Amino acid sequence: METSPSRTIKLLCSYGGKILPRATDGGLRFIGGHTRVTVDRSICFSYPFFSVVGALCGSSVTLRCQLPNEDLETLISLTNNEDLTHISKEYDRASSKLPHPLNIRAVLFRPESSKKVSPATSSPLKKLKMTLNIIGNI
């Protein structure tokens, strides 16, 4: 069954946790933190996404996406709209013969040097969830 791309992308964006190996098979998984958001395909990730999310986290952030049908050992950095277009096409191709489209799995990372920096807000995770939903509606 072939599916056509919809106007929205199911982007599972995880933050505030860790990627750790599973005890059973050693495969990587995301533990803790939060996973949220569905966005419109026309979203611009250069701005305001990175600026707003970076301000809420108190540091710059990097967004990395899991390739379709791969595990968390293979994460691709998204730094601009071209990267987002490429990863969307990869997921569209991988989903073309499936009854439902695959979800794009993304993880927000802060640079190692800034992990101890206090966030700019008193409740950054709550505000980040709200902001991701707002940005998705822009």
What residues does each domain of the chain span? 8-136
Can you give the pLDDT at residue 2?
A: 46
Residue 116, pLDDT score: 45
pLDDT at residue 39, as a whole number: 62
pTM (2 d.p.)? 0.56
CA-wise closest residue to 105 among 134, 136, 64, 50: 64
User: How confident is the model at residue 134, as a pLDDT?
Assistant: 43
Q: Which residue in this structure is represented by tokens 């206090």?
A: 118
Euclidean distance between CA atoms 64 and 98, whole angstroms: 24
Q: In sequence order, what are the beta bridge partners of 39?
A: 9
CA distance 90 to 102: 10
Provide the pLDDT for residue 20. Answer: 87
Give exposure, 17-38, as e/b (b: 16+ Cβ within 10 Å): eeeeeeeeeeeeebeeebbbbe
pLDDT at 1: 43
Non-local CB neighbours of 125 within 8 Å, separated by 6+ positions: 15, 16, 34
Instruction: Give pLDDT, residue 35.
Output: 73
Whether 78 and 65 have beta carbons less than 8 Å apart is answered as yes
Query: Is the CATH number 3.10.20.90 carried by domain 8-136?
Result: yes
Write down the pLDDT at residue 106: 79
Show pLDDT as tens, one digit a residue, over the chain (138 residues): 444 555 555 666 777 788 888 889 888 888 887 776 666 666 666 556 666 666 766 677 788 888 888 887 888 888 877 888 888 888 889 988 888 878 778 787 776 655 444 444 444 455 454 444 444 433
